[in-house]
């Protein structure tokens, strides 16, 4: 067990150790909060209090079988910040999401229909939870150079291609190191994917945005959007 993991275990029932750990990792807590909120967070923001409480929660619930403490703490902080953002949205009159995010010119049953299905559900229920997920994930997609609305053009259309893309997405999700590499470098490890899945490189390049989007959604905290990714869920269950 490395030093920070030991410190976290010792701080669980010791107030002084807890305070020392918090003081030492203030910048880490702020960085995690800013990343989850997709904006700069300072100690004067409400998100700081949420993140600090989440860090303390992580210490109280940490054990060595949960892996590295910092990874565990980052996950807890992210979840609490997103919960906080969602709770605020319940009291907001409207979350602004450009209608073009839901646009699609395709009506064929074989075509990718996630956007049209989501648009119909929002229209019928006025559910802001899905809008919030789209808003958050669109910020993630922007780092790769595309947006949610781009998915209508780059998503697979035929059953065979959908299955191939799902196979690739599942392969990446089941290999956290590759998923992490994709998120850091903002690109797919094409050679490794092709070698292990035997999916043609041309298909990988053509559907890069969709594959990236699927991995980000399925490996992130987007339960509403993930529920629409049936092919990837089926592949992950194999």
For the chain, the residue count is 238
By CB atoms closer than 10 A (0-12, 13-18, 19+), residue 44 is: exposed
Res 80 pLDDT > 80: yes
Q: Which of 30, 50, 56 is nearest to 42 (CA)?
A: 30
- Domains recognised in the chain with CATH numbers: 3-89 (1.10.1740), 99-236 (no CATH)
Q: Which token pair is 24?
A: 């030492």
Encode pLDDT of 188-237 as tens digits.
999 999 999 999 999 999 999 999 999 999 988 888 888 888 899 899 98
- Using an 8 Å Cβ cutoff, are 81 and 99 in contact? no
Q: What is the dihedral of CA 159, 180, 202, 108, to 10 degrees?
A: 30
Give how far Cα 95 sits from Cα of 90, 129, 214, Å: 10, 9, 23
- Kindly report the pTM of this predicted structure: 0.57
pLDDT tier, 88 (very low <50, low <70, confident <90, very high otherwise): low
Q: Which of 126, 106, 110 is nearest to 118 (CA)?
A: 126
């Amino acid at each position: 067990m490395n030093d920070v993991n030991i410190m976290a275990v010792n701080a669980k029932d010791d107030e002084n150790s807890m305070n020392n750990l918090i003081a030492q990792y203030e910048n880490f807590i702020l960085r995690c909060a800013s990343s989850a909120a997709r904006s700069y967070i300072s100690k004067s923001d409400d998100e700081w209090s949420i993140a600090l409480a989440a860090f303390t929660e992580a210490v109280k619930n940490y054990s060595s079988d949960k892996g590295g403490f910092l990874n565990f703490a980052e996950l807890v902080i992210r979840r609490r910040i997103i919960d906080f953002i969602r709770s605020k949205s319940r009291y907001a009159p409207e979350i602004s999401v450009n209608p073009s995010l839901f646009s699609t010119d395709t009506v064929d049953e074989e075509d990718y229909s996630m956007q049209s299905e989501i648009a119909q559900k929002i229209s019928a229920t006025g559910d802001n939870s899905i809008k919030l997920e789209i808003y958050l994930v669109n910020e993630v997609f922007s780092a790769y150079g595309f947006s949610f609305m781009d998915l209508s053009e780059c998503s697979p259309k035929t059953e065979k291609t959908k299955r191939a893309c799902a196979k690739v997405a599942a392969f990446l999700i089941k290999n956290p190191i590759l998923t992490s590499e994709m998120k850091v470098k903002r690109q797919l490890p094409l050679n490794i994917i092709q070698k292990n899945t035997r999916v043609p490189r041309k298909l990988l390049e053509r559907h890069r945005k969709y594959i990236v989007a699927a991995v980000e959604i399925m490996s992130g905290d987007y339960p509403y959007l993930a529920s629409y990714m049936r092919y990837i869920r089926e592949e992950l269950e194999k």
